[in-house]
Structure 1
Amino acid sequence: MIRLLALLLLVLAPLAARAQDESIVLGLSQTSVAITADFTGSEILIYGAVKREAPQPEGGPLQVIVTVEGPPTPVVVRRKERRLGIWINRDKVRINHAPSFYAVATTGPLEAILSETDNLRYQISVPRAIRAVGISAQAEESPSFVEALQRIREQEGRYHLDEGTVAFTEDTLFRTDVRLPSNLVEGNYRVRVFLTRDGRVVDSLEGGIGVQKAGIERFIYALAQEQPLIYGLLSLVMAVVAGWGASAAFRMIR
């Protein structure tokens, strides 16, 4: 038995070493983003290199896929129908895991450089990143609802696929710029980088970007979340003061 285990270790050791022959070294231009009153979005430079412990293995060319994912939230997607001249909500599907932001950047066409098996395993493409869980009773209808959510968020600039935007030099150095929109949700944004060859993922690495409100926006947000009664009273006082001020200004104009 011991001899058999030793033989297995001798056979598997070179395979494990080859699996780690190519690995990712990752860098980010910034690891935090502050949302202020004049925030109009931000651009993150994601760069890195492929570290090799042995000569480049045989096979197709190496490819790079970069994803940036915002905090996931549950979403209810409803379908409207026109009945008697009135638009009303009819069917609905609850999507348990929908990233608030999702961007994919690649060195080439995604379908050409990533197999469906590894896409399913690593949840890389936008449809795969949207996970509709617990809707088996609506399984036939759920794909159309997921497509509708993807289409709406693409129009809002919150989901996008940028094929061919990752610059890859001599199969070693890579870089890409990912644009973060102004309507960001606070939280940790997950950055993932995948190396693929012949459609299979060779290695992957994960990083993170922290996004939070800053300045007066942070104070108002924290007050609304932690002291809702005080926030409501202050809002009421400000509304009364603003109304009185507008009325006084009109009287002076007259």
Structure 2
Amino acid sequence: MKWLTVCLSLLVSPVLAEEVVLGLSQDQVAITADFDGSEILLFGAVKREEPIAAEPLEVVIAVSGPQSPLTVRRKERKFGIWINTDAVEIDAAPSFYAVATSAPFSEVISNVEDQRHKVSIPRAIRSVGAPMDVLDAQSFSEAVIRIRTAEGSYQLRENAIQFDQQTLFRTSIKMPANLTEGDYSTRIFLTREGRVVSQFETVINVNKVGLERWLFDLSRNQPLIYGLMSLAIAIAAGWMASAAFQLLRRG
């Protein structure tokens, strides 16, 4: 009976011929007062149970920051002033999203697999519906992508993964200074002829530390004290600037 159970488990969960073995230069990013961004090195290898197949493998790596809903508004100039006209609720959009590939994106993963695993930047943004009176709702999601790409928060890095001898791969992901605190999901896909043959997932943790952490906690837990302290700092800065100006005038 035990032998039968083992056989059935092997049939249900077959051993993969190719699997991802991943490494990270760091699995934590500390946001300090002088934080100006970070670069994460991702490297790994393909573990095989069989000889290398004739069709080449490709690698896709996607790093996604915490997701949150947001409202996208359209402004139009009417009667000489800019006013909000339409608004669309985006159900979830990652604060940071980077995709790196070993070849052009359209060659490494098919549209069907992209839809299934939500790898590309447009697929990572979830927008269920829009008001009936908004005709071009898709343009609102495109605006989010355009703005965050310009900020460096969204990145598509084609041909950025070095893949040696169909076994070892490595790349780096530039993380900007305006990172949101939280867990950053990191997914690695092995693909062949556009199909995903293996995948691996890990997490990069991003946290505020030191003065940044203390100020953040103070603003959340003691907003009155934080407000008074901010006011005092502003008054002191204004007084010092005024005193310095007076000294310069006398000099």
The CA deviation at 1:241 is: 3.0
Alpha-carbon distance change, 169 to 156 in structure 1, aligned in 2, over 3 angstroms: same
Given the alignment, which residue of 45, 50, 65 partners 1:54? 50
Q: Distance in 2 between matches of 1:158 and 1:128?
A: 16
Q: Which of structure 1's runs of 4+ aligned residues deviate more than 6 A?
A: none
Structure 1 residue 242: Cα displacement:
3.1
Amino acid at match of 2:56: P
Are 1:40 and 1:181, in contact at CA under 8 Å, matched by a contact in 2?
yes
From 231, 239, 251, the equivalent of 2:234 is: 239
Spell out the pairing of 1:30-109 with structure 2 (5 A cutoff): 30-57=26-53, 60-109=55-104
Q: Which amino acid aligns with 1:236?
A: L
Distance 1:165 1:249, change over 3 A: closer
Partner Cα separation in structure 2 for residue 114 and residue 252 of structure 1 = 66
Q: Which moved more, 1:84-93 or 1:116-125?
A: 84-93
Q: How many pairs were matched up? A: 243
| Counterpart for residue 19 of structure 2 | 23
Q: Is the contact made by 1:93 and 1:138 (CA closer than 8 Å) also made in structure 2?
A: no
* Partner in structure 1 of residue 115 of structure 2: 120
Q: Deviations over 1:188-244 (max 9, x none)?
A: 111110001111111111111111112111111110011111111212222333334
The answer to whether 1:215 aligns with 2:214 is no
Cα distance in 1 for residues equivalent to 2:220 and 2:46 = 44
8 A contact 1:106–1:165 mirrored in 2: yes
Tell me which residue corresponds to 1:191: 186
Distance 2:180 2:133 in 1: 29
Q: Percent identity?
A: 53
- 1:4-19, aligned counterparts within 5 Å? 13=11, 17=14
Residues 251 and 161 of structure 1: CA distance in aligned 2, closer, same or farther (over 3 Å): closer
Letter in 2 for 1:42: S
Mapped to 1, the partners of 2:131 and 2:117 lie a distance apart of: 22
2:14 partner SS: helix
CA distance in 2, matches of 1:141, 1:232: 42
Aligned ranges 1:164-203 → 2 under 5 Å? 164-203=159-198
- Give the superposition deviation at 1:184: 0.9
**Could you list the runs of 5+ residues in structure 2 that have no partner in the other structure?**
none
The 1:53/1:46 distance shift into structure 2, 3 A limit, reads same
Which piece of structure 1 moves more, 140-149 or 156-165?
140-149
Deviates more, 1:70-79 or 1:133-142: 133-142
1:111 aligns with one of 106, 109, 116: 106
